[in-house]
Amino acid sequence: MNVIQKLIESVRDGSLPFRICNRFSKTKYGPITELNTNQLIARRYPDDGWKNLTHEGRVAWNHFHSALSAKKPRNVVWVGANDGRGAVCMNEAFPGMDFFLLEPVRKTFQAMEKRLAGLPNLRAFNLAAGAAEGELEMFVDEYSPASSLLPYDQLIAKDYPFLGKQSKETVRVRPLDTLLGEWKLDRIDFLIVDVQGYEDIVLAGAQQVLKNAQIVMVEMNLKSLYVGSATFDSVYQTLRANGLTLRHIPHFHRNADNEVVQIDGLFCRE
């Protein structure tokens, strides 16, 4: 293919801006296009029903269909569900499951409640999960996904300079093992933990849950962003000790130096 043909092709497929950036930048970029998402789902979806999904629903199906089609979970518990956007996408991609969504920050919880209107199988709880019953002070960032029960590490400003505009809020904390009984669930099929460094403490209050969970997805830290944060190794060892095996990495996050600092590990029971 000559230079002119390559140029025309890159304009057609949308890759031209990335090719220009890659020419002059040490960081290499690539497009995540609708076409790529559609190609992936068209190969594996059982019929043409994927065409009725939103783009976000198609992305969710591509990320999770391997694990969910094998395990066929009945319920999903999402600790740190934020505004519920991810749960709504997963519900669209995999209808028929019941969702129990925990979000401790009042304003973010209220946004989630609005998003879940008309979706009775998605239930919202204004709670944090932890090792014991109580109330704790939450560090609430203007960028809500970064809010945590742990304070920022001093390196956070270098890695994520847009973070740090915080307030504090007292939130209620309850162990997952207690909630399991109150929800009258014999087990949690699919547990998602996205709690910004607080993973070890959430899992400490979920010892009964972990004995029977079929799938667990948890954010794992390769670099400390919060003081006293859980680590990749601490989370990995806990889940392995409970018979769960790391099978997929649906997402990962880089810092300003292009280092991978967090991954979302998807563990399955063999």
- Residue ranges per structural domain of the chain: 71-269
Q: Strands, E, within the chain: which ranges?
A: 75-79, 98-102, 122-125, 128-129, 134-141, 166-174, 190-193, 215-221, 244-254, 260-269
How many residues in the chain?
270
pLDDT of residue 270: 84
Q: pLDDT (tens digit, 0 to 9) for every residue of the chain, 270 residues total?
A: 454 555 455 545 555 555 665 555 555 555 545 568 999 999 999 999 999 999 999 999 999 999 999 899 999 999 999 999 999 999 999 999 999 999 999 999 999 999 999 999 999 999 999 999 999 999 999 999 999 999 998 777 677 777 878 899 999 999 999 999 999 999 999 999 999 999 999 999 999 999 999 999 999 999 888 999 999 999 999 999 999 999 999 988 887 778 888 999 999 998
Query: Which CATH architecture is the domain 71-269 placed in?
Result: 3-Layer(aba) Sandwich (3.40)
Gyration radius of the chain's alpha carbons: 20
Taking the CA atoms of 241, 208, 186 and 236 in sequence, report the sign of the dihedral they define.
negative
Prediction pTM value: 0.85
Contacts 24+ apart (CB under 8 A), 176-181: 176/77, 176/79, 176/129, 176/202, 176/205, 176/206, 176/209, 177/205, 177/206, 177/207, 177/208, 177/209, 178/133, 178/205, 179/77, 179/100, 179/125, 179/127, 179/129, 180/208, 180/209
Cβ neighbours of residue 199 under 8 Å, at least 6 residues apart?
193, 218, 219, 220, 221, 230, 234, 235
Q: Give pLDDT tens digits for 80-129.
A: 999 999 999 999 999 999 999 999 999 999 999 999 999 999 999 999 99
Separation between Cα atoms, residue 148 and residue 135, nearest integer Å: 14
pLDDT of residue 1: 47
Taking the CA atoms of 139, 142, 147 and 152 in sequence, report the sign of the dihedral they define.
negative
